[in-house]
Amino acid sequence: MKNKPKVLFVMHMPPPVHGAAMMGQYVHDSKLINDKFECHYINPSLSSSVANVGKVSIGKIVFMVKNIINIIRKVKKIKPDLCYYTPTADGWGIYRDLVVLSFLKWQKQKIVLHMHNKGVRIFSNNHCFARWTYRRIFKNTHVILLAKELYPDIQEYVLEKNIYYCPNGMPQTNFDVNERFIVHTPYTFLFLSNMIETKGVVEVLRACSILKSKGVKYVCNFVGKWSTVTEERFYDLVKVFGIEEYVNYLGAKYNEDKISELRNADSLVFPTFYSGECFPLVLIEAMEYSLPCISTIEGGIPSLINDGETGFLVQSKDTEALANKMLWLIEHQDEGLLMGKKGRNRFLENFTLDIFEHRMVDILSSELNIWDK
């Protein structure tokens, strides 16, 4: 019996919990991928919480050095047929990536990079040494992107013929679409994310204030861990906008508790303007639960939401437009339910975990065949 190809996965896994880490965990736990390849895993994450991501400390530097040494030892020990690596798009982490990838290339390793964030183009323009670094990171590699809208971010360094497109996927649950036949009273919006300012927390609060001024009945539930938007600031804004009766903060929710909030909502609002936004898993989760989504034209989001069909896309920080789309869903509830059903069908056809795993197997197999030619 022929030995399975060895693949070394250097990828983020929780903690902390964020999109790239969750996808890393899904790959790690995939029976399909582990049956197809002899898989080895290294988690290069330097942060234990989302709040610490991007911050530099002595402890992180020491851990990073140990991590690099661990990767070098693992490569020399197992001699993988392919190295799968999730690089950092910007910030000081790109120099760690340069060290690791330079070693892998020196060892004549076959490499595929999987980009879970963006920011390469902006960081290149603002840091002259970064452009030199990116050229060496992307040289002689193929790259997996989450959506075609993300290609311009690395276009300077990678030819499109060397790109694979692989949207994220989420596990299917036992949700019955027939549950979603009527909206709640009052109409219930859900914001589901860490309470990060660039995810649009303040924009949702401002939109809620506009809805209040129009005299409509609704409630907006915020679910997520405190972050750059602190508890004090959140409640100060709620008080300033006079929306205490309309807004609830429900804390961070996981597993069944999070599912309960998705079931109890009528639509998801996620007006992110995060510069590194790529392919938010929260939108995929909402689509699975037949929720129409209101989001922005950031990263690969237009590949997720069909504007006017499965939800709405608005410009970043345009609270008037956000409020108008929220009002439309309140006033057109039957159409909103239909949007949600179309979104669920889109999830089942494109964004399940099973589809993602098969795409990954095809890409990794293709990489092994390409390099073997």
In the predicted structure, residue 266 carries a pLDDT above the cut 70: yes
Distance, in Å, from the CA atom of 79 to the CA atom of 100, rounded to the nearest integer, reads 15
Distance, in Å, from the CA atom of 167 to the CA atom of 352, rounded to the nearest integer, reads 10
The two counts, helices (H) then strands (E), for the chain are 14, 12
Q: Which domains, from first to last, does the chain contain? A: 6-169+352-372 (3.40.50.2000), 177-350 (3.40.50.2000)
At residue 373, the pLDDT reads 47
Residue 50 confidence class, pLDDT cut points 50, 70, 90: low
Contacts of residue 91, Cβ cutoff 8 Å, sequence gap at least 6: 54, 119, 123
What is the 3-class SS of 214-227, one letter each residue? CCCCEEEEEECCEC
State the helix-helix crossing angle for 281-288 and 333-350, rounded to 10 degrees. Answer: 110
Calculate mean pLDDT across residues 175-184.
85
Q: pLDDT of 25-42, one tens digit each?
A: 999 999 999 999 999 999
- Residue 111 to residues 130, 144, 331: CA-CA distances in angstroms? 20, 11, 52
In the predicted structure, residue 260 carries a pLDDT above the cut 50: yes
In the predicted structure, residue 350 carries a pLDDT above the cut 60: yes
In the predicted structure, residue 358 carries a pLDDT above the cut 90: yes
At residue 61, the pLDDT reads 84
- Residue 169 to residues 94, 242, 281, 342, 346: CA-CA distances in angstroms? 26, 39, 8, 17, 12
State the helix-helix crossing angle for 281-288 and 19-29, rounded to 10 degrees. Answer: 70
Task: Tell me what the pLDDT averaged over the chain comes to.
Answer: 94
Q: pLDDT of 140-166, one tens digit each?
A: 999 999 999 999 999 999 999 999 999
Share above pLDDT 90 across residues of the chain, in percent, rounded to a whole number: 87
The distance in angstroms from the start CA to the end CA of the chain is 22
At residue 199, the pLDDT reads 98
Q: pLDDT of 58-73, one tens digit each?
A: 877 888 899 999 999 9
The residues that bridge with 144 in the sheet, in sequence order, are: 114, 164
Distance, in Å, from the CA atom of 86 to the CA atom of 12, rounded to the nearest integer, reads 7
Single pTM value for the model:
0.92
8-state DSSP, 315: -
8-state DSSP, 332: -
- Nearest Cα to 149, choosing from 141, 160, 157? 160
Amino acid at 280: P
In the predicted structure, residue 302 carries a pLDDT above the cut 50: yes
